[in-house]
């Protein structure tokens, strides 16, 4: 039999064979096809077949977005998914889609379990990376993804994986220790943990409710900043709307504001006094505002503080 030579070094890999875990993950659109008929060619349809790649380890995932000229199009039923897609790839609410220009665009993807197969997952939502439109829970999950937390163990070093297992009191794997074995221990422990714990904790990360926001809820961001300046209230870290409103409400409830007589530029940050959750909330706020705050590998307080200070230095407030 003749030897067959080949060269596919410039062809992108099709992804691994592992299911993408449930949660929020970064991905890249590698396929976008306008379908006008089903595979048998007999039924007229109109949708976009979108393929998302999650890296070499994971399977690629497909999602289908019905278009307005589809015979079964219903704006109330299908319009949200098309709007979600156009938002995710940065298109305006009204315009046109060129499938070729959708290729290689980064997206954040929310993955859920398939109803018909408990061992498989599928795409639930698509988001623009750092999108301000994310809900509180999704914004916190996006911050976790950017911080190398939870399901992103593949980016952790062997030292980080070992430290996490020891800190959580889990049993180390037997035999030769490999990163794959360490990851399996953590993934199994996550699956056995209460699935609602993270969701409950994240519920408070969204928009301020009307009671907490008071009449500041109708103010513009600039009005809030001006009021903070007028009352000499200083925020730790980068400005966010929610953080500014909370500071104003707290000051109003106290009935007075004590001015800081020191030089503003000389005042050290307060990150060392932040709790772990406050640091995570700060990262979530910044990611939601489009900042690139990243904690590589296992999340630690020192890494989070260093990442926030680096962001402060790159974008002084």
Name the average pLDDT for the chain.
Answer: 75
What is the pLDDT, as a whole number, of residue 94? 86
What is the pLDDT, as a whole number, of residue 81? 92
Average pLDDT over residues 125-146: 61
What is the pLDDT, as a whole number, of residue 97? 92
Q: 103, 93, 127, 119: which is closest to 49 by C-alpha?
A: 103
Counts of helices then strands in the chain (DSSP H, E): 10, 5
**DSSP state string for 167-179:** HTTPPPPSSS--H
Question: How far apart, in whole angstroms, are the C-alpha atoms of residue 296 and residue 142?
Answer: 14
pTM of the model: 0.43
Residues in the chain: 317
Residue 8 near residue 1 (C-beta atoms within 8 A): no
Tens of pLDDT, residues 293-305? 777 777 788 888 8
pLDDT band, residue 8 (cuts 50/70/90) = low
Q: 197, 168, 167, 204: which is closest to 280 by C-alpha?
A: 204
What is the pLDDT, as a whole number, of residue 215? 55
What is the pLDDT, as a whole number, of residue 201? 33
Average pLDDT over residues 74-94: 89
Of 144-148, 214-218, 235-239, 296-300, give the range with the top mean pLDDT: 296-300
How many C-beta atoms lie closer than 10 Å to residue 217's C-beta? Answer: 15
b or e along 12-50 (b: 16 or more beta carbons within 10 Å of the residue's beta carbon)?
A: eeebeeebbbbbbbbbbbbebeeeeeeeeeeeebbbbeb
Give percent above pLDDT 90 in the chain. Answer: 16
Phi and psi at 70, nearest 5°, equal -70, 140
pLDDT band, residue 284 (cuts 50/70/90) = confident
pLDDT band, residue 69 (cuts 50/70/90) = very high
Minimum mean pLDDT range among 21-30, 98-107, 145-154, 229-238: 145-154
Question: How far apart, in whole angstroms, are the C-alpha atoms of residue 107 and residue 89?
Answer: 7
What is the pLDDT, as a whole number, of residue 139? 56
């Amino acid at each position: 039999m003749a030897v067959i030579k080949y060269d596919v070094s410039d062809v992108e890999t099709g992804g691994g064979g592992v299911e993408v875990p449930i949660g929020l993950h970064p991905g890249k659109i590698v396929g976008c096809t306008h379908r006008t008929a089903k595979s048998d060619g007999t039924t007229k349809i109109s949708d976009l077949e979108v393929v998302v790649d999650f890296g070499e380890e994971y399977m690629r995932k497909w999602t289908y977005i019905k278009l307005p000229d589809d015979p079964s199009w219903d704006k109330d039923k299908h319009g949200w998914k098309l709007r979600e897609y156009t938002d995710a790839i940065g298109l305006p609410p009204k315009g046109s889609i060129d499938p070729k220009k959708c290729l290689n665009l980064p997206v954040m993807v929310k993955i859920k379990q398939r109803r018909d197969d408990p061992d498989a997952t599928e795409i639930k939502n698509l988001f623009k990376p750092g999108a301000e439109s994310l809900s509180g829970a999704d914004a916190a999950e996006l911050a976790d993804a950017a911080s190398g937390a939870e399901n992103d163990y593949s980016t952790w070093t062997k030292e980080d994986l070992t430290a996490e297992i020891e800190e959580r009191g889990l049993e180390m794997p037997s035999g030769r220790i490999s990163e794959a074995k360490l990851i399996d221990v953590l993934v199994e422990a996550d699956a056995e943990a209460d699935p609602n714990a993270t969701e409950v904790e994240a519920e408070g990360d969204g928009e301020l409710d009307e009671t907490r926001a008071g009449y500041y809820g109708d103010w513009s961001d600039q009005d809030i900043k001006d009021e903070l300046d007028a009352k000499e209230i200083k925020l730790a870290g980068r400005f966010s709307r929610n953080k500014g409103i909370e500071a104003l409400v707290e000051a109003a409830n106290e009935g007075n504001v004590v001015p800081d007589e020191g030089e503003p530029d000389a005042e050290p940050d307060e990150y060392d006094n932040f709790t772990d959750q406050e640091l995570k909330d700060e990262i979530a706020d910044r990611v939601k505002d489009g900042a690139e705050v990243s904690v590589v590998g296992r999340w630690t307080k020192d890494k989070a503080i260093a990442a926030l200070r680096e962001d402060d230095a790159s974008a002084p407030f």
